[in-house]
Structure 1
Amino acid sequence: MELSFKEIVEAINGKVVVRGREDFNNVCIDTRKIQKDNIYIAIKGERFDGNKFVIDAFKKGASIAIVSEILFDIENEDEVETVILVDDTEKALLDLASFYRKKLGLKVVGVTGSCGKTSTKDLIAAFLSEKYKVFKTKGNFNNQIGLPLMILELDSTYDVAVLEMGMSDLGEIDILARCARPDIAVITNIGLSHIENLKTQDNILKAKSEIFNYFDESNTLIINGEDKNLLKIKDKCFEILRIGYNHEYDVYAFNIILMEDNTTFSIQDNNQEIIFNIPMAGKHNILNSMLAIAVAKKLNLSFEEMKLGIKNLEATSMRLEVIKKDKITIINDCYNASPDSMKSSMDVLTTYKKGRKVAILGTMNELGDEAINAHTEVGNYAKDKVDLLIAIGSYKECFRKGYSLDSILTFEDKKDFIDDLKTIIKENDVILVKASRGMKFEEIVNSLEEADV
């Protein structure tokens, strides 16, 4: 981290109450992961108070602690090093990251949307990688704690940071955008995720649109033109680029070929047809790829550089991850779920021509009053996509109602299914596993991997 001690204190408007060691390297908020010379930021949450673990952080090697309360005896603790007092440690983390982002001055691409954020982030980073040194958000570090931690991992060797921005309510993306100040923003779609809190898709659009709250004429917004809600965004002071399947869009795809583990499509540029092959399955990943192409074009990459970059694709795990065992094929897509992503995953399942197509689907969370209709609709969508539907959890009967075929099995919880797994799964099955994160369906994936079918 390329900051001085003085800059840290000024950035967070802190007061040095104990002066000890001032040498430091990285920021850490978890005492279980503290390493020598880390700055420990004592985050105070609803269920825990990091201020209680400051001495533990120092014992493990932290050189500086940023706290909002002094819960130890400063005079009588031999382990105490430098302590900086602030009003709010979560705000201090955001302020420090904001200061650091401005100091580094690199290009930032912000990515948000109801689904597809992580895949789009991965694709953008890959497309850019041949020309630039690119940093991308790790895992799901996309909230008010995770995003600033990602920014603080940057250094001046990076050219571009691709930062994912998540939210569950109004105002949250605004905080992230104020911290990260993206030069380019990407919105993948407006679905039903978080409708439990936000009540309407218009409110979801409003929340996602906070990503461009700090834009001026120098900024660019890139949106999915196939999403009718996103087409409501227009007549802004900044540039808006749209992608999709319509020739009127700034980047559009045609000649689409969907395969089990890759997609091929063409785009048109100056009367020239450019063919792309993406090592990701699903038509939705063509839209994600076009968003990435639009970003790459904006950052002055040639199409040849983009094609070379896609070879560096590192997809985040548990998102349409294909696991080929001796007797079965597993599509592990259990990182999260929404109605749109459920449908996209089943579309991928249909590209497999051999073997029985099995979908193991669980609860989609945070849908509020839309939950019953959404689960029923997904069940209906599965009718001509799968040979066997396995529904697990609270909305299993909604899946059954929508599916309305006999080839469905329902289970109260995943343990019940795992206990019966060997009697259900057959040789050559292609099995999609998908549910919201809280369902922890990776346990089903693990059981399928270990099963002697």
Structure 2
Amino acid sequence: MELLSFEEIIGAVNGKVHINANNHKYNNLSTDTRKICNHSIFVALKGQNFNGNDYIKEASEKGANLCIVEEINFKDEDLKKNTSVILVEDTKKALLDLAEYYRSKLKVKIIGITGSTGKTSTKDLTAAALSSEIKVFKTKGNFNNEIGLPLMIFELDNSYDVAVLEMGMSNLGEIHRLAKVARPDIAIITNIGISHIENLKTRENILKAKMEITDFFKKDNVLIVNGENDLLSTISAKDCKIIKIGFGEEDFRAINVLTDEGHIEFTVDDGVEKERFNIPVPGKHNILNSLLAIAAGRILKVEYDKLKNGIRNLSVTSMRLDIIKGKRFTIIDDCYNASPDSMKAALDVMTTIKADRKIAVLGTMKELGVESYKFHKEVAQYAKVKGIDLLVTVGEFNEAYKEGFDNNNRFKEFHNIDDACNFLENNIKNNDGILVKASRSMKFETIVNKLKAKNC
């Protein structure tokens, strides 16, 4: 943040000076007054249920040297003498514009990651793979939107070699704006599924939205894609190099694959070298995520042995296929989000778990539009094929799950989490395996926490 002067900030956000306190030292930037410390920049965002412009006095008292506002909802004399104020038309746009300018002053290489599913897992794998050779920053939590990504940019400085940044979206244009800020040197697209199809209507539109990550590419930029995905397997680009990964004839392919409940093992064949990897995450889908990470590392000229050393230090984001082995039973916590593809991937992982009974506790998958019923039914059909012994569902698509599973003796439906928890607590047996998965808004971590309490 010390890279920015007061004058540069005014120009970047196209702002007007309301107060110049002549104290222009900035160590960090925040949009939350609870996180302000001395020498902060506070950007007063305005939403449907909040207005940061109402908290300028509090920001000043906590140590903000600069407040960027779109409304003057304070008295100048109530602010501390070290607080400057810049007035802009739109603070959300100002946040993006300032982050874009700050990014232009950084020498850090940026790897941008998007896709319908697997973004966070691929982010974690990529950051780990690179970490033994170079200093790496990665997106924290789910800071992957038009507010979160700029905040991640502001946590960077030139002590980092690479930043691995996740980019999410729900409609056209959003990835474009994120790419304009981050200007990724390397982009990764994990897959094109049906998440957000409610807004975008077709998978082809989802592909178009995800490909916006290349909107500012030049010929020396690289796009890495999952060649196993039907839409990504056929893409081409005139303005950058495309690298494809997969199990067939792609640039980086996985051969001699092994999976079990705790890890994946495979050999990477890049057409020149072959190298064996053993990675402590479950699921065949994570072989593809790992290949994306490995390809990014090789593009950055990190040797295979260094990539393997880095992956040994893998730190994964919570609530994503987190296998929790207790004294009585095993829980697969995959509560963070859900789509048909990620549901099926989690059910695939269930087949590798050693358990006497395999129980799936599934909730609503959001933002699937008019065909939501069909997609929930398909997931239930997949659960049946995969040999799930008991399917427990909660939410508005219980009937779809029931129709797809087609076995009332092994199906239980509930309309709220409390009733589902009561049933599970009274019916779990020793050596059961229990998958818990739904879209984030369902708050299925409540189920996981109650199961953990029974599993001590």
Q: Which moved more, 1:173-182 or 1:49-58?
A: 49-58
1:216-252 per-residue CA deviation (whole Å, 9 max, x = no partner) reads 2111111000101112321422101100001x21000
- After superposition, residues 268-287 of structure 1 pair within 5 angstroms as 268-270=269-271, 272-287=273-288
Report the TM-score, using the length of structure 2 for normalisation.
Answer: 0.96
Matched, 1:418 2:416: no
Q: Secondary structure at the match of 2:157?
A: coil
Q: Secondary structure at the match of 1:63?
A: strand
1:80, distance to aligned residue in structure 2 (A): 7.2
Aligned match of 2:345: 344
1:331-352 per-residue CA deviation (whole Å, 9 max, x = no partner) reads 1000000000000001001001
Q: Secondary structure at the match of 1:322?
A: strand
Task: Indicate conservation of the 8 Å contact 2:252/2:269, yes or no.
Answer: yes
- In 2, the alpha carbon distance for the partners of 1:271 and 1:114 equals 31
- In 1, the alpha carbon distance for the partners of 2:311 and 2:281 equals 11
- Residue among 153, 156, 160 paired with 1:154: 156
Task: Indicate conservation of the 8 Å contact 1:422/1:452, yes or no.
Answer: no
Identity of aligned residues (%): 55
Aligned match of 1:2: 2
1:103-122 per-residue CA deviation (whole Å, 9 max, x = no partner) reads 01211000000000000011
Matched, 1:428 2:431: yes
Task: Indicate conservation of the 8 Å contact 2:354/2:433, yes or no.
Answer: no
Aligned match of 2:395: 393
- After superposition, residues 129-168 of structure 1 pair within 5 angstroms as 129-168=131-170
Amino acid of the structure 2 residue aligned with 1:342:
M
Task: Give structure 2 stretches of 5+ with no counterpart.
Answer: none
Amino acid of the structure 1 residue aligned with 2:440:
R
Task: Indicate conservation of the 8 Å contact 1:24/1:38, yes or no.
Answer: yes
Task: Give structure 1 stretches of 5+ with no counterpart.
Answer: none
Amino acid of the structure 2 residue aligned with 1:321:
D
Task: Indicate conservation of the 8 Å contact 2:251/2:270, yes or no.
Answer: no
- In 1, the alpha carbon distance for the partners of 2:118 and 2:79 equals 49
- In 2, the alpha carbon distance for the partners of 1:424 and 1:394 equals 23
Q: Secondary structure at the match of 2:365?
A: coil
1:161, distance to aligned residue in structure 2 (A): 0.6
Q: Which moved more, 1:358-367 or 1:61-70?
A: 61-70
Q: Which moved more, 1:252-261 or 1:8-17?
A: 8-17
Aligned length: 452
Task: Indicate conservation of the 8 Å contact 2:327/2:455, yes or no.
Answer: no
1:298-323 per-residue CA deviation (whole Å, 9 max, x = no partner) reads 00011111101101211000001111
Question: 1:146–1:235: structure 2 CA closer, same or farther, 3 Å change rule?
Answer: closer
- After superposition, residues 20-419 of structure 1 pair within 5 angstroms as 20=21, 21-75=23-77, 77=79, 81-246=83-248, 248-270=249-271, 272-385=273-386, 386-405=388-407, 406-419=409-422
**What do you get for the CA RMSD once the two structures are aligned?**
1.4
1:166-225 per-residue CA deviation (whole Å, 9 max, x = no partner) reads 000010000000000001110001111000111111111111111101112111111000
Q: Secondary structure at the match of 1:357?
A: strand
Amino acid of the structure 1 residue aligned with 2:2:
E
1:272, distance to aligned residue in structure 2 (A): 4.0
Task: Indicate conservation of the 8 Å contact 2:61/2:79, yes or no.
Answer: no
- In 2, the alpha carbon distance for the partners of 1:102 and 1:268 equals 36
Matched, 1:442 2:432: no
1:384, distance to aligned residue in structure 2 (A): 3.0
Task: Indicate conservation of the 8 Å contact 2:60/2:79, yes or no.
Answer: no
Amino acid of the structure 2 residue aligned with 1:338:
S
Q: Which moved more, 1:66-75 or 1:186-195?
A: 66-75
Question: 1:269–1:223: structure 2 CA closer, same or farther, 3 Å change rule?
Answer: closer
